[in-house]
Amino acid sequence: MVGLVALSLTTRERNMLNLKGKTIVVTGSASGIGAATVECLQAHGAHVVGMDIREEGRSDSFVQVDLGSRKSIDEAAARLPEKLDGLANVAGLAPTVPAADVIRVNLVGTLHLTHGVVPRLTDGSGIVMLSSIAAYHWRQSVDQIREALDLSFAKVDAFVAKHDIDAQPGRSYFVTKEALLAWCITHRRTWIDRRIRANSIAPAAVSTPLLDAFSSIMGDRAQDDARVVERSGAPADIAPVVAFLLSDDAAWIRGANIPVDGGVAAHYLAQENGL
């Protein structure tokens, strides 16, 4: 009987992730990786609630939010459906934006929204954070990451001043991506009784509106990375991995950071170990 059922499925149905009928929130849904993620989730049968500071029409429903404002986040979270099956945190500012703004949106606002959404998540849901290859050396900054993870909106300016982040090009972006990666590791068992899992994805350079800014702050590393891979990434390279981590097919993946980077992280690892 099982074999007959399998034979009756279309090729498309056999390739579908287990997302049919699920309601997933995607931040940064108006463009880039967020927009590609919306389309990918929909292709696998999910109902997508888009969230962005800019209005967009591709999601099944849309809630406008400014992740740099606690008030905006609280109001937006209250407008979300009562039951959700996943959250993809894709939204983020470029490293060329003032440091305090980057930290508020990419980290503090993202985490504030996440904790606001968790009570609405069904058992077995997934949370995905968009980290970056820029976070590869996160272990060298654990003390600063720990402090960043404890930030409130009111503490951001003092944190930037204390660590002189404005004087370090790109450091605001690096620390936010490092902290999101670390958050997934530290929260790997936080909601284990509800089987809610958190994982991160670390892309290398991707052709989005942030690409030029990303390349400029990566400096020589960006040129080295370009020699390693055959091309820059595309949003469509990242979106299927986000969708997979939100699906029931990823039920046993928890606290992981998945490099989706054309082999850049493997290149770094090989260099470090003389391979």
For residue range 136-186, what is the model confidence (pLDDT) as tens digits? Answer: 999 999 999 999 999 999 999 999 999 999 999 999 999 999 999 999 999
pTM of the model: 0.91
pLDDT of amino acid 5: 46
Region 33-51: what's the mean pLDDT? 98
Of residues 207 and 203, the one with the higher pLDDT is 203
CB 113 within 8 A of CB 65: yes
Residue 205 reports pLDDT greater than 90? no
pLDDT at res. 4: 47
Work out the average pLDDT over 71-78. 98
* Mean predicted confidence (pLDDT) in 201-206: 92
3-state secondary structure 97-164: CCHHHHHHHHHHHHHHHHHHHHHHEEEEEEEEEECCHHHCCHHHHHHHHHHHHCCCHHHHHHHHHHCC
Q: What average pLDDT does the segment 82-91 reach?
A: 98
Q: Output the average pLDDT for the chain.
A: 92
| H/E element, 130 | strand 121-130
Rounded to 5 degrees, what are φ and ψ at 173? -70, -45
Give residue-wise pLDDT tens across range 1-31: 445 444 554 555 656 899 999 999 999 999 9
State the pLDDT at residue 231. 79
- Lowest-confidence range among 1-10, 56-65, 99-108, 189-198? 1-10
**Residue with token string 């284990």:** 192
165-203 in b/e form (b: 16+ CB < 10 A) is: beeeebbbbbbbbbbbbbbbeebbeebeeeebbbbbbbb
pLDDT (tens digit, 9 = 90+) per residue, 258-267? Answer: 999 999 999 9
Distance CA 275, CA 269 (A): 8
pLDDT of 114 above 60: yes
Q: How far apart are CA 264 and CA 226, in angstroms?
A: 9
Query: 222 pLDDT band (50/70/90 cuts)?
Result: low
Domains and CATH numbers, the chain: 10-272 (3.40.50.720)
CA 247 to chain centre: 15
Cα–Cα distance for residue pair 173/97, rounded to 1 Å: 9
Which pLDDT band holds residue 49 (cuts at 50, 70, 90)? Answer: very high
